[in-house]
Structure 1
Amino acid sequence: MDVRVKLPNGVSMPQLGLGLSHRGGCGYNHDAVVYALKHCGVRLLDTAERYGNMAKLPAAIQESGVLPDEIFITTKLFPTNYTRVHTAFEDDRRQLNKDTVDLFLLHTPECGIGIGNKELRLQAWRELEMLYDNGQCRAIGVSNFMEKHLTQLLEECSIKPMANQCEFHPFQTQISLRKFCADEGIVFQGYSPLAKGAVLHNAIVKEMANRYNKTEAQVAVRWSLQHGYITIPKSTNPVRVKENYDVFDFELSNDDLEKLAKLHDGRHVSWDPTNVL
């Protein structure tokens, strides 16, 4: 089912996609990507320079039989390339075999090289603005930015970030950040909807899965989708990919949405950017 969310500039983006794994995680699975595109209707692939798999995507897309123009690809610029944005972007575009990148993000607010984080983020963002103005990106945004990082950027930028991709699951609901993004017209996107598997073992999630005749993973993905956010579960297993995508034939009640939200305990299962200056 091709449900879409519009970015602030009018670009239409699939709400549910496939997050691709990096070499330091569970690796890249060509068959899972082909299966997702060909048999599950996935039309959003989320990757990044750090993942090291961009050059593999054109072959998977070709094998799937889906037209490349039908697939929305998000990629992210790693901080080591914040001082060489255009060169890194051209390398990404070459690997992806795309004339225009659909959504290009600054991967993290923590830069860790040379000048301070704030100055380097702004410098890199201005380069993203140029790419967008030149028509080389359909949309630009950030990832893992908290309110303070967004506030600093908004004070200086010419173009607001169109999206902010952050960790989002019942244990990390990002309430204040989501409100900030909504107030500023920035589309919130959620990664790690399964909290790296932690939700699968929660008693409340298990009870709901039994009641809806769904799996715990499907309950967690559905919870994220019903907030209206773009959601990108990761899996390298075709069976799990299908499971994560088979979530459009049921709805969680308002009471159950609230029960899941109350599981928030502030944990980060990925990386905690709150202390980054």
Structure 2
Amino acid sequence: MNIEIKIDKTWDINSFYDNIFGENYIKKWGHVRKAIFRWYPQLWEKLNNITDTEERKKIIYEYIDGLYIKYDTKLQTIVQKLKSLFENNKEKIIAGLVTTMDFNPQEIPQVTIIPSFKPNSTFWTDRINLSIALEVFKDKTNPYIDIFVHEITHIIWNQKIWKIYDIVWKLWPLAHEDLKEIVTPVIMRDSHFRDILQSEYMKNANEKQQLLQINVNWTKHNIVDYFESIYQDMKGKWDSFEEIMKEFVKIFLKIEDQIIAKHRIYNEFWFVSKDKEEALKILKEKWYMDPIILG
């Protein structure tokens, strides 16, 4: 698997449009959309009440194009740093993915990293929009290796999970999303990534999943910790990644109604709260943190 790093302004600008107005980002991945407006309130002001598609695209193009012009020197410097960083760590990353996910590098012969002004990194089948916003605007370096491993894990998992669904059963989309976000930190906690990860932060799931608890045999666990314990136990018995994912899906099939109910609570109250502290308080009151029961 080759890792290419290149500036692609057109792709980045188009992804801004997709992340703001794409149906999935309005319904399923609202955190990406809302993060863009938090970082770029002026863009939101320009787009507010605009309904014409071409006018929306024109506004986004002019705004993001302006960022590319203004921060060109910084962008070029970051790209050179990324090329060196990934050249030095590529083999370790691939080895970790092969070991943890039974990844065949020939299945994804090339992944293109596109530095992005978006505040969140996102992925496609063979492309990763790697957010550089924190470094550009706040002079803070993101843990780029960690973010890449997070996103490439999603890509590999998405390739493999449909075969699992054919064998076991397909999860509903909301449960599918939660399982995806739980699997990734489980993989990143594996010892094979210990020497290359740049922080501890990405070893946790997104807030939505990290807050979930599960009750198993009258014992409460953090849901990510619980699935990690299953992963470690099965990996210790030399079970394949496919066998481990079969077990994960079987468990999720038992709890997916509860997962979906939690999802709806989170989406209803998290994004309307004025700050994180208030959001956590409301989620607790609405029983979001009450454990899921695994029967």
Fold shared, TM-score > 0.5 on shorter chain: no
Which structure has the greater CA radius of gyration?
2
Q: Which has the higher contact order (CA 8 A, sep 6+)?
A: 1
- Structure with bigger helix share is 2
